[in-house]
Amino acid sequence: MRFTTVAGIMTVVLTGTCAQARDYISIAGSSTVLPFATIIAEQLGNNPSFKTPIVESGGSSVGKKGVCEGTGTEFTDIGNASSRMKIGELEFCDKNGVTVTEIKVGYDGIVVAGSKSGPVLEISKSDLGKALTAKVPVDGIMVANPYKLWSEVNPELPEIAIRVYGPPTTSGTRASFAEMVNQKGYCKKDPEAKAALKAAGQTDKVCRAMRTDGAYVEAGEQDNLIVQKLQEDSNAYGIFGFSYLDQNSDTLRGAVISGSAPTFENIASDNYSVSRALYFYVKHAHVGVVPGIKEFMAEWTKHWDEDGVLAENGMIPLPDAERAAYAAAMKNMPVLTADMLEEV
């Protein structure tokens, strides 16, 4: 489900495949990028020459698919994503005759957080993946995850039921978490898991599947819905972007993962291992046709440094060199190609 953060969606007349009928920017995608893109949209809206862009959620997959589906007013101008576009997703763009430019805007930590009134969670990335991946090794065979309590995964963990609220399959946060924690943190390193996967003729990519037996609960694309669940359930944990923990630090506490707490300083210094880059993808055919796209991109550069409003709201700034490179990309609009991407 898409969630609109800017009121006043206009009725537009679609005319063929061109975007000239619409006078505002249409943006959709990652719920993690959503609050930051909304801030930038509001900044652009302060300029009387432009309408405030419409920023919607729906997940990274929705953002990347929407920008690649085609050209015209019915299609998204800019797709937000908290997971980088894959080669297969870019091929969908190519199939539809769409070219895009990739802009990295910052970084974000993925946190596992719970109520401050609940038990403290200090856990290794391997144990976290072991608790949440759909299948684990038992007697050398990969079977449905049997662990009901955190303490069954590791006796040093709380003796309470494993119950984690998180985003659905359309979410870039979920995709990044499953890759970094389940696959690379657990299955790629755990000797038993590696042996069982090899015996089954499977790769560690299968470990990206999350449990569906109630230990992992899909709570919708909106991270604030997960936050609400934790405020109601003190023995549960939730997976979402760092900015939502930062905004709710009066009631929520982040888990310490592999010895590192999810703080702005740890994420910015690369000392927190569950972090990822944030992106948006701009459709070339709509630049110069839909008013304000270039100006929207320029607004990011005014607010994305260490002292900017985006950092104040929890986004981890890019290093200086990366900011300079992506500011140049906003002006030059290089076409994203397959050789610029790495298949994961």
Q: Are 310 and 106 in contact (CB under 8 A)?
A: yes
In a domain, 150, yes or no: yes
Structure tokens at 16: 């063929």
pLDDT > 60? residue 11:
no
Select from 275, 305, 323 the last residue of a domain.
Answer: 275
Q: Does 22 have pLDDT greater than 90?
A: no
Highest mean pLDDT among 39-43, 165-169, 338-342: 39-43
Looking at the structure, do residues 116 and 227 belong to the same domain, yes or no? yes
- CA dist 288 and 294 (Å) reads 8
CATH at 249: 3.40.190.10
Euclidean distance between CA atoms 191 and 126, whole angstroms: 11
Query: Is residue 4 a part of any domain in this protein?
Result: no
Please tell me whether residues 283 and 242 are part of one structural domain. no
Closest CA to 31 of 132, 171, 130, 150: 171
Amino acid letter, residue 95: K
Report the C-alpha gap between 30 and 241 in whole angstroms. 11
Residues of the chain with pLDDT > 70, as a percent, come to 93
Question: What are 6's two structure tokens?
Answer: 């800017």
Residues 269 and 282 in one domain: no
Has residue 1 been placed in a domain?
no
Domain count along the chain: 2
Asked if 284 and 202 sit in the same domain, the reply is no
The answer to whether residue 166 sits within a structural domain is: yes
Q: Which of 252, 275, 298 is the last residue of a domain?
A: 275
**Mean of the per-residue pLDDT values for the chain?**
91
Number of other residues whose CB lies within 10 A of the CB of residue 266: 17
How many whole angstroms separate alpha carbon 148 and alpha carbon 154? 12
Average pLDDT over residues 204-215: 97
User: Is residue 2 one of the residues assigned to a domain?
Assistant: no
Domain co-membership, 153 together with 244: yes
Same domain, 262 and 118: yes
Q: What is the pLDDT of residue 111?
A: 96
- Three-state DSSP at 250 gives coil
Give the end of a domain, one of 240, 275, 310: 275
Q: How confident is the model at residue 6 (pLDDT cuts 50, 70, 90)?
A: very low
Mean pLDDT of 71-88: 94
**Residue 243 shares a structural domain with residue 295:** no
Q: What is the largest CA-CA distance in the chain?
A: 67
pLDDT at 47 over 60: yes
Q: Which pLDDT does position 268 carry in this prediction?
A: 87
Q: Are 249 and 298 found together in one domain?
A: no
pLDDT digit string, tens, across residues 89-142: 999 999 999 999 999 999 999 999 999 999 999 999 999 999 999 999 999 999
Q: What is the pLDDT of residue 228?
A: 87
193 and 176 fall within a common domain:
yes
Residue 269 — pLDDT band, cuts 50, 70, 90?
confident
pLDDT of residue 149: 98
Q: Are residues 162 and 245 in the same domain?
A: yes
130 plus 241 within the same structural domain: yes
Asked if residue 296 is part of any domain, the answer here is yes
pLDDT in tens, 218-258: 987 777 888 889 988 999 999 998 988 998 999 999 999 99
CA distance 222 to 57: 8
For residues 127 and 225, state if they share a domain.
Answer: yes
For the chain, give the number of residues.
344
pLDDT higher than 60, residue 2: no
231/71: higher pLDDT: 71
**Could you list the residue range(s) of the whole structural domain that residue 300 is in?**
26-108+277-340
Note whether residue 194 is domain-resident: yes
**Is 236 part of a structural domain of the chain?**
yes
Q: What is the pLDDT of residues 100-111, one digit of tens each?
A: 999 999 999 999
The CA distance from 33 to 328, in Å, is 21
